Structures are given as structure tokens and as C-alpha cells.
């Protein structure tokens, strides 16, 4: 057992208990409320209500299992490939490096202008421009 995990008397961790419940009843992952799961916990633990540690553990396990479900869907979609409206897959075009350099310069100019106009008010725009510039620089390196 990894360091920091505590097992109950039966040898099952709190996380393991909730993973088992969600595996048996995946519909509980979709809901927002944890009342039904907490009711099951109380019934299985002699009517003892769940404390804050158990509730936090429940939230963490539920979040992780939801995330794993989303990753599986994304992988399946990626395996199928993206289809355009006309039923064909898009073709990736590699832009010439000189065009990317020009684009980088234009983005730099926009970034400079945004900083001079209102750095605080345009913070989200500046962040987006920096991200765009970084992606262009990365594309140049390939």
C-alpha cells in the first residue's frame, strides 16, 4: 500500500471503497449529489455518518473517475479521426518558415501595442497573444 494510505479493518481503503461503489453503479458518477453514496457508506459502516475526510475522499475519487471516463472518450474520438462536414479528413498543411516568421513578428507587434494601450485591462488578450506567439515559435522548430 502506498505511503499515506490507511486501510480499514477489512483491509480496504476509503478510496477503494468508493471506487468499488462507482464501478458497480456508474450512474452515481453522473449526478451532482453525493447523498446516495454517503447513505451507502453509512449503511456499510454501522450507521456512522461520514466525516469531512471521508467526504473529501469521495469527492476526489469521483473527480478522478469522471476524468478517466473523459480521457477514454477522447482517445476513441482521436482514433476515429476528425471528419469534416463533407465526409473527408482535413489535410495538414505545413506553412513555410518565412510565413511563420512574418506571423510571429505581427503577433509581437500586436502584443507590444496591447501592452502600451492598457496592460491591466487587456491582460487576457496579452495572455492569448503570448500563447499564440509561443505556438508559432514551436511550429517553426518542427
- Secondary structure (DSSP) of 31-94: -S--HHHHHHHHHHTTTPPP-HHHHHHHHHHHHHHHHHHHHHHHHHHHHH----TTS-PPPP-P
d(Cα 83, Cα 133) in Å, to the nearest integer? Answer: 28
Please say whether the beta carbons of 88 and 82 come within 8 A: no
Lowest mean pLDDT among 4-8, 13-17, 130-134: 4-8
Confidence label for 53 from pLDDT (cuts 50, 70 and 90)? very high
Please state the pTM of the whole predicted model.
Answer: 0.47
> Crossing angle, helix 123-141 and helix 97-118, to 10 degrees?
160
Give the Cβ contact number of residue 58 at 10 Å: 21
Of 38, 39, 37, which Cα lies nearest the Cα of 25? 37
- For cell 463533407, what's the residue? 86
Model pLDDT for residues 69-127, shown as the tens digit of each residue:
887 766 666 666 655 556 666 566 666 777 888 888 899 999 899 989 998 999 999 99
Amino acid at each position: 500500500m502506498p505511503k499515506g494510505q490507511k486501510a480499514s479493518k477489512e483491509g480496504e481503503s476509503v478510496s477503494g471503497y468508493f471506487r468499488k461503489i462507482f464501478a458497480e453503479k456508474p450512474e452515481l458518477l453522473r449526478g451532482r449529489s453525493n447523498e446516495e453514496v454517503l447513505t451507502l457508506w453509512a449503511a456499510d459502516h454501522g450507521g456512522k455518518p461520514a466525516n469531512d475526510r471521508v467526504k473529501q475522499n469521495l469527492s476526489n475519487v469521483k473527480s478522478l473517475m469522471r476524468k478517466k471516463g473523459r480521457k477514454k472518450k477522447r482517445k476513441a474520438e482521436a482514433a476515429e479521426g476528425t471528419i469534416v462536414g463533407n465526409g473527408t479528413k482535413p489535410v495538414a498543411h505545413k506553412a513555410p518558415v518565412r510565413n511563420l516568421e512574418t506571423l510571429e513578428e505581427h503577433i509581437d507587434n500586436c502584443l507590444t501595442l496591447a501592452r502600451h494601450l492598457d496592460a491591466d485591462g487587456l491582460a487576457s488578450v496579452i495572455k492569448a497573444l503570448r500563447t499564440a506567439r509561443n505556438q508559432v515559435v514551436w511550429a517553426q522548430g518542427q
